């Protein structure tokens, strides 16, 4: 289904009004982490600062700093700073249209919280948003851009939007033999709709995938109560879905966070089928190379 609403975007950059704090264990490594989200100057973007490392090295949240890792987004800089599993926090910031923020973290991995990005959103909104004096630049997509895997089973495309809105259409289809049924969802992106329809969607995984990951040393601290685990018959282990189509909503959540690494807000229609972090990163890189031009939109006062 398509959820429509006012496509107006705040014309000026935003940051947090006050410091926001959140803590918890990481999804893959289970290490306790504490985050402090700080207000930042206009034009500074999103920056992670590893306060537990000597010199407090920083890594910018940009696709140029993405390093290869399975099933998650990892950022790394040449100064030794790296942060894992950034996609949910980045989705929260992008979904709420936060342009500038310094994220202090005292561990290698962002907290998993409940597997969604809603707790991050709630912390940000409790701190409040501050509209800054600098105008917000928007990247207007006027030519279609697409990437796919070699088999053509996974792809993501960004095409022009003719009404000034940004929408995401996602189809999740793992084939007839999977425990997760085929699902589609389409959403017009505003902070209000993001909070209601996307932010609460949690990480999901198949039971056999959990077993394989734990053999590799990942997620040994997790149970079915910590994320959505599908059994072989399609039932959810020790948990309950928030929507029947929660998996496809979470894939949209991941997509938003990954595409935000292009470094600029954009106006376009995103159409994807089974796209994961790897293809999302390729598309973010593509977006980052497009020349920014000012939108021909009527800003709201």
Question: Can you tell me which residue has the tokens 């920056």?
Answer: 47
**8 A C-beta contact, residue 232 and residue 210:** no
Q: Running DSSP on this structure, what letter comes out for residue 116?
A: S
Length of the chain measured in residues: 301
Q: Spell out the residues 6+ positions from residue 238 whose beta carbon is closer than 8 angstroms to its own.
A: 223, 224, 225, 229
Nearest alpha carbon to residue 6 among 131, 191, 135, 139: 191
d(CA 89, CA 20): 12
Q: Is 278 exposed, middle or buried (0-12, 13-18, 19+ CB in 10 A)?
A: middle
Dig out the tokens for 278 from the structure.
Answer: 């790897």
Burial 121-142 (b: 16+ CB within 10 A, else e): bbbbeebebeebeeebbbbbbe
Secondary structure of residue 96 in the 3-state scheme = coil
- Over 135-167, what HEC string results? ECCEEECCCCEEEECCCCCCEEEEECCCCCCCE
Active site residue 277: yes
**8 A C-beta contact, residue 195 and residue 97:** no
Annotated catalytic residue, options 62, 88, 250, 277? 277
Q: What amino acid positions are annotated as catalytic residues?
A: 277
């Amino acid at each position: 289904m398509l959820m429509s609403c006012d496509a107006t975007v705040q014309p000026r950059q935003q940051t947090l009004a006050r410091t926001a704090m959140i803590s918890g264990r990481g999804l893959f490594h289970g290490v306790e982490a504490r985050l402090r989200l700080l207000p930042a100057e206009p034009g500074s973007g999103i920056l992670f600062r590893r306060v537990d490392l000597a010199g407090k090295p920083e890594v910018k949240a940009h696709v140029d700093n993405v390093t290869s890792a399975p099933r998650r987004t990892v950022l790394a800089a040449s100064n030794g700073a790296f942060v894992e599993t950034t996609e949910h926090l980045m989705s929260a910031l992008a979904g709420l249209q936060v342009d500038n923020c310094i994220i202090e973290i005292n561990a290698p991995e962002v907290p998993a919280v409940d597997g969604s990005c809603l707790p991050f959103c709630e912390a940000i909104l409790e701190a409040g948003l501050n509209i800054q004096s600098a105008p917000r630049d928007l990247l207007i997509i006027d030519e279609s851009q697409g990437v796919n895997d070699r088999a053509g089973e996974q792809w993501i495309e960004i095409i022009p939007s003719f009404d000034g809105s940004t929408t995401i259409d996602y189809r999740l289809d793992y084939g007839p033999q999977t425990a997760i049924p085929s699902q589609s969802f389409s959403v017009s992106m505003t902070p209000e709709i993001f909070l209601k329809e996307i932010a609460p969607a949690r990480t999901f995984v198949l039971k056999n995938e959990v077993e394989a990951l734990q053999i590799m040393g990942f997620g040994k601290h997790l149970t079915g109560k910590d994320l959505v685990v599908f059994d072989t018959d399609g039932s959810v282990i020790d948990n309950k879905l928030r929507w029947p189509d929660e998996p496809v909503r979470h894939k949209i959540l991941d997509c938003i966070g990954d595409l935000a690494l292009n470094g600029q807000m954009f106006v376009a229609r995103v159409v994807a089928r089974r796209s994961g972090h790897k293809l999302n990163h390729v598309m973010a890189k593509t977006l980052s190379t497009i020349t920014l031009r000012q939108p021909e939109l009527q800003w709201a006062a």
